[in-house]
Structure 1
Amino acid sequence: MINILDFDLAALKNWMKENGEKEFRAKQVFNWIYNEVWDFYNMNNIPKSTKDKLNSFFYIGIPELLEVYDSEDNNTKKFLYRYKDGSIIECVAMEYTYGNSICVSTQVGCKMGCKFCASTIGGIIRNLTAGEITAQILKTQSIIHKRISNVVLMGSGEPLDNYENVIAFINDINNDYSLNIGQRHITLSTCGIVPKIYDLADLKLQITLAISLHASSDEERKKIMPIANKYNIQELIKACTYYISKTNRRITFEYALVKGINDNEDSARKLGELLKNILCHVNLIPVNTVTENNFKKPSKENIKIFSNILNDFGINNTIRREMGSDINAACGQLRRSYAKSIEKRC
């Protein structure tokens, strides 16, 4: 059985033709699915014989909701979903004045090993398909009863480690027959797989590329991000410069501030020197506490000093507003706590 969400319109039209059906049925089927009808037999304008064929060949891979958590601010919800094979992932929906955003997962687990991230603890289980990533949006919209207009690939997993599926996902949700989400409303966050950044640049997509930098020197970065042992900062910056030249898009550099590790004034100045001639924005992220490590959040005073130093270098930056910390909204935290609770029951 194949997840029909892993087919695009052209592929489904081709399937219809090969199975003796009219090609226009493909668009009708997708119309139903993207309007939250997830049973072929409830698609009223599809002949029963076609439904039978669809049902014998495809399934509609919408995940099961296991748990949902609402934050105290009422603007953030975290969802724990389970796919058909038992794989569990999480995603976060955030309500802003400009629309509703979702942070989706691209892998079950992660192998990148970043020290501040809970999703990498325990390693990777598997990649998600394009359709499984799309399904997170469909399921979430059905729960919150609101359209999602902005997508961030920043949940569990490294998007560029699942490159083909992620690109297919971006193309899928951009189509007018599906979710019709513009590329400029999509952000892809990566820890910095340099060759894939070049590949992505050559596609000339209009998405926002976010780089998880989190340090201003190789020595500092290696302490918290194993990927730095493979690609140094200069190689990463060179790839980013290439990306900007090909897309003319500003890059976001994400910097998780960890008390006593990378939140000092010297680190801020080094970061300023590194990025001062690059078309970029820096997103300063006070680190979330993860039980399995000893990382602590810096003081508000230190965060402000860090931000001001970047301002002195002429680098636009913002301090990320904390949303959902009371519901374990950081990557991987909810999935791990759920797994632990199941272990205790067994």
Structure 2
Amino acid sequence: MGTNADTEKDARRDVHSLTRGELTELLAGLGQPGFRAKQVEEWVWSKNARSWDEMTNLPKALREQLAERLTLGAVEEVARQASSDGSRKYLLRLSDGVCVECVGMPSGSRLAVCASTQAGCAMGCAFCATGGAGLTRSLTDAEIYEQVMHVRDDFGERVTSVVLMGQGEPFMNYDATLAALRRLNSPEGAGIGARHLTVSTCGVIPQIMRFANEPEQFTLAVSLHSAVQKTRNALMPGVRKYSLVNLYNAMGEYVDKTGRRPTYEYALIGGVNDTDAELQALCDFCEGTLAHVNLIQLNEVEGSKLRPSTPARAEDFVRRLASVGVEATVRNSRGADIDAACGQLKQRVERGR
């Protein structure tokens, strides 16, 4: 049976969930001047403080009052894998015990982070370790943001780019995803340029159109994986209702409205979407558009019959796409010696238990 102290602790709000207005009101009620809110927010969002005692420019009495009323809602690292290529994968536990994965990928002076927007995923993509487990819940904007800050602090370096391509479908959690992007972009948050913040969607058309109307220059990536409707339906059942014809039209509108170049993600799967017919369909889908094609070497998922294409086949795709004026690159697969695919580290930890 819980004690009164436990009940009081449970009743405290996470400071990350407070708006500036709510925080200012709380501090005013404690007899504090208005500038204290900015000080607290700087510790919470920019410095990623893990305890109230770290906030050394706040009076000690105020720190004690805040600790009684608010939690810092820190994520807890459950597992961490380091790859020989320098990338690190993390399994983080959130305040309610739910776990999510994120990855830090250093390259020279740059540090990219791949973060999750949901715990689990409802889209059910055939090649994804996360999709097999279903959706647990969507994350808050703070929980998305805190993954990036955890990676930043572990590397001790500034994060220069973020891609929301981890667990979950960002556009099925649109409001929190956008709020997290804005916080990552804000000078009072992580201060990352909008064009270095990318959302990867399976192709949820209504939200693509909504995203096109946002004022920021955020980047859009669409998981395509096949330009043949039957193949795409089999690989990505969660977006079956959004046909390729409608996706093609929506992406045309997106480019017209934003002037920004979208990316199509295409994981090459041997004998499934790497045939000559599939390649021709991809060329037809992309020719004459502004899109860039990002060819991905499929991560093998335990228990899946799907296998990656050969590097030579990936180069065939690059050459053929180039011949119709479409720029394509083969994404350098990071973390191949660790549980690189989304959901794999979580599964390994759970099996270990």
Q: 1:9/1:230 Cα in 2 relative to 1: closer, same or farther (>3 Å)?
A: same
SS at match of 1:308: helix
Match of 2:310 in 1: 299
Determine whether 1:196 maps to 2:176.
no
Aligned equivalents of 1:265, 1:18: Cα separation in 2: 68
Match of 1:39 in 2: 51
Match of 1:120 in 2: 131
Aligned equivalents of 1:237, 1:17: Cα separation in 2: 52
Match of 2:182 in 1: 171
Q: TM-score, normalised by structure 1?
A: 0.94
SS at match of 2:112: strand
After superposition, give the CA deviation of every residue in 1:124-178 in whole Å (9 maximum; x if it has no partner).
1111101111111122222111111110100011100111101110111211122
Given that 1:193 and 1:227 are in contact with CA atoms closer than 8 Å, whether structure 2 keeps it comes out as no
Equivalent position amino acid for 2:229 in 1: D
Match of 1:111 in 2: 122
Determine whether 1:321 maps to 2:324.
no
Task: Return 15-24 or 261-270, whichever deviates more.
Answer: 15-24
Equivalent position amino acid for 1:303 in 2: A
Equivalent position amino acid for 1:249 in 2: R
Determine whether 1:129 maps to 2:140.
yes
CA shift for structure 1 position 257 = 0.6
Aligned equivalents of 2:298, 2:74: Cα separation in 1: 32
SS at match of 1:327: coil
Match of 2:5 in 1: none
After superposition, give the CA deviation of every residue in 1:175-203 in whole Å (9 maximum; x if it has no partner).
11221111111010000111111111111
SS at match of 1:118: coil
CA shift for structure 1 position 54 = 2.1
Equivalent position amino acid for 1:284 in 2: L
Equivalent position amino acid for 1:39 in 2: S
Given that 1:282 and 1:318 are in contact with CA atoms closer than 8 Å, whether structure 2 keeps it comes out as yes
Match of 1:308 in 2: 319
Aligned equivalents of 1:275, 1:204: Cα separation in 2: 26
- How do residues 1-346 of structure 1 correspond to structure 2 at under 5 angstroms? 1-17=12-28, 20-33=31-44, 34-73=46-85, 75-97=86-108, 99-342=110-353
Identical aligned residues as a percent = 35
Given that 1:173 and 1:181 are in contact with CA atoms closer than 8 Å, whether structure 2 keeps it comes out as yes
Aligned equivalents of 2:21, 2:214: Cα separation in 1: 20
Structure 1 segments unaligned to the other structure (5+ residues): none
Structure 2 segments unaligned to the other structure (5+ residues): 1-11
CA shift for structure 1 position 8 = 4.7
Equivalent position amino acid for 1:262 in 2: N
Match of 2:8 in 1: none
Aligned equivalents of 1:286, 1:14: Cα separation in 2: 51
Aligned equivalents of 2:248, 2:28: Cα separation in 1: 48
Given that 1:265 and 1:309 are in contact with CA atoms closer than 8 Å, whether structure 2 keeps it comes out as no
Task: Return 40-49 or 327-336, whichever deviates more.
Answer: 40-49
Q: TM-score, normalised by structure 2?
A: 0.92
| RMSD of aligned alpha carbons | 1.6
Task: Return 176-185 or 108-117, whichever deviates more.
Answer: 176-185
CA shift for structure 1 position 68 = 1.2
Q: 1:8/1:185 Cα in 2 relative to 1: closer, same or farther (>3 Å)?
A: farther
* Matched pairs, number: 341
